[in-house]
Structure 1
Amino acid sequence: MFEAPFLRRIVRCPRTTGGVCLQESRDLFLGEIDSLHIEIRFRNTSTIAKDHQGYNMSRNIDTREFSISDYDGALQVWQRVEGVEIAEGDDREGVARFLVRNPGLSRVAIDGSAILGVALCGHDGRRGHIYHLAVDPAYQRRGLGKRLLDECLDGLRRAGVQRAIILVADDNQRGAEFWKRCGWETIPGAIAMGIDV
């Protein structure tokens, strides 16, 4: 036996002839490859996809506007992603109001009918706001989050918004690193504040 780590999931493959299934989630079959030809050096999905044509990890992932019919799938993604806090206003009715107020800006990444990533995006006429950008853990580190983010920012530019703001929990180090890699910066001297109304 040997272990191959793929996006936080340890896949155990017996050293036998024939194909074995490598998978990223409990319900998604991604392909077969001969386990004798897998080497420990294959540490990332791009290497495997390049060297093993039958192992197509990206499949048919597409992005489109977030619709309220996507809510249940989006909620499941949010619940699986560390650092996403579900709070007041994140129920179906609250998200529906947000989408109506900000048409065409929020995005989802999909594979068939499965929601793999989601981003809520809106603006107040002056500043853009992005909430709950999340990608299913099995699909992280493949550019989906950046793709959703770029599409949100494109929508804000078309709406005439020149700057966007996000809130990142201070204990969400991985999330903060993602935003910094995407070019976002902390706002010196600013303190996030809020009040229930």
Structure 2
Amino acid sequence: MLIKQAPSAEAPLQLLLEADPSLDAIARYLEHSICHVATIAEKTVGAYVIQPIGGGVHELMNIAVDPAYQRKGIGKRLLDHAIATVRDAGARRLELCTGTFGYQLSFYQRAGFRVVAVERDYFLTHYDEPIYENGIQHKDRLRLALDY
């Protein structure tokens, strides 16, 4: 698998929609972000988007793996790459946001991220359509951080 930086204009939008169902939100943060794309045999299988937010802090805005390639370690490799890329750039912290339950939360916690804030009703006020996972509606959003 090859992971390389790609211009934001060439970000795989359909893939990023796997992790964030709002095309408007993706378009907004892509403007000020750096996108990395993972390929296997020239097929895009994953991507992540990082945005510098100042003071040595970067935010992982999106990380997604093609459903046909999930559960094969690609997400972990993408996250490890993102962590290393930001650390090597001199950042002191990498932050991200996710729902209050589900696979994603434990995925990030296994990588060492810790909860630093709860944003109540985030998914209720920022998305037009409700977001459900395993029959439960996402309401609040967690902000997690990994300090270097």
2-structure distance, mates of 1:85, 1:180: 23
Specify which structure has the higher proportion of strand.
2
Question: TM-score with structure 1 length normalisation?
Answer: 0.53
TM-superposed deviation, 1:181 = 1.8
Which residue of the other structure, out of 3, 6, 10, is the alignment partner of 1:70? Answer: 10
Runs of at least 5 residues in structure 2 that lack an aligned partner in the other structure: 127-148
Within a 5 Å distance, the mapping from 1:110-189 to structure 2 comes to: 110-126=39-55, 127-171=57-101, 173-187=102-116
**What displacement does 1:158 show?**
2.3
The structure, 1 or 2, with the larger RCO (C-alpha pairs under 8 Å, 6+ apart) is 2
In the superposition, the TM-score normalised over structure 2's length comes to 0.68
Distance 1:75 1:163 in 2: 26
What are structure 1's unaligned runs of at least 5 residues? 1-60
CA contact (8 A) 1:64 1:109 kept: yes
**Which of 23, 27, 32 is the equivalent residue of 1:98?**
32
State the distance in 2 between where 1:139 and 1:170 align.
25
1:69 Cα deviation from its structure 2 partner: 5.0
- Report how many residues are paired: 122
Deviation string 1:154-186 (CA, Å, 9 cap, x unpaired) is: 221122211111100235x01112111222122
- Deviating runs (4+, > 3 A) in structure 1? 193-196
Contact 2:48 2:63 in 1 (8 A): yes
* CA distance in structure 2 between the partners assigned to 1:114 and 1:192 by the alignment: 36
1:86 to 2, 13, 22: 22
- State the alpha-carbon separation in 2 of the partners of residues 169 and 121 from structure 1: 18
Q: Which has the larger radius of gyration?
A: 1
Q: Deviations over 1:112-161 (max 9, x none)?
A: 44211010012223211001111111111222112111222222112221
- Quote the offset at 1:192 in angstroms: 2.5
- CA deviations 1:48-75 (Å, max 9, x no partner) are xxxxxxxxxxxxx21111223532xx22
